[in-house]
Amino acid sequence: MARIRTIKPEFWTDGNVVKLSPLARLFFIGMWNFTLCDHGHVADDAFRLKLQILPTDDVDPDDLLGEIMAAGRVQRILDGDGRAYLHIKRFSDHQKIDPRWKTRCPACAQVDSLVPIETPVSLSEPQRDSAELALGRDGMGRDGKKTSSKPPASKEFDSFWASYPRKIGKDLARKAFEKALKRADPRTIMDGLETLRKEVAGKDQQFIPHPSSWLNAGRWQDEAPQGALLAVVPQQYGWANQ
């Protein structure tokens, strides 16, 4: 059941929070309303959270959740039966707890068997056995041999990453870049990136969008600011001395 939550003034200047993109911050706050209990457990269903918090926004909830997890604000946990939940860290430190409200949270019922997963895991990937996670056997195949979890090398992404003016969330950016390639060719994306680089030259990093957010929003299609166009047109057409 959704509950009323509070926001402390310090939230807006928290060092980890200000690094999040605006929609990720809003998504994080929205998660508070839909916790299963006063201990910060949330159902591990990014799509459902998106419908509850940002129902009409064209955003990828997995990317927003991954951004929040990368900032250390939320972690994924498993109970003894292998069911996954999201846990908002230190949630009880910032919310007023009502002792009269008895929790029915299934995660709280198995609090002694909860196992944290420190690395963000895509919701599209099958969940691994909880015993495997407890032993730290990430990247082990069924035959016990080491398997690589590193994505295939991408020259196009490497070029994009090298040129992007704010290097944050590389794994999320790689995922977003692969999705973007289904909508546009690498040259088009890089042309849009060059427009962004000129637009943000000299600006503070906090005003530059995260690369994953920029890609997911299809912002390579943004038009250059009118002022920038006026500066280029006279030179291009030989009008500078007229």
Could you give the CA distance from residue 141 to residue 93 in angstroms, rounded to a whole number?
Answer: 39
Each residue's pLDDT tens digit, 121-157: 333 343 333 333 333 333 334 344 444 444 444 788 8
Could you give the CA distance from residue 123 to residue 128 in angstroms, rounded to a whole number?
Answer: 12
Query: Can you read off the two tokens belonging to residue 165?
Result: 């003016």
Each residue's pLDDT tens digit, 11-56: 889 888 899 999 999 999 999 999 888 888 898 899 999 999 999 9
Torsion sign (Cα): 216, 220, 222, 226: positive
Question: Which amino acid, one-letter code, is at 56?
Answer: T
CA 49 to each of CA 22, 62, 123, 216: distance values in angstroms, whole numbers, following the listed order: 16, 10, 13, 18
Each residue's pLDDT tens digit, 170-219: 888 888 888 888 888 888 999 999 999 888 888 887 788 888 888 988 89
C-beta atoms surrounding 110 within 10 Å: 16
- 85 - beta bridge partners? 43, 77
116: enclosing H helix or E strand = strand 115-117
The number of helices, as runs of H, and strands, as runs of E, in the chain is 11, 4
Q: Is the CB of residue 62 less than 8 Å from the CB of residue 76?
A: no
* Cα separation of the two ends of the chain: 69
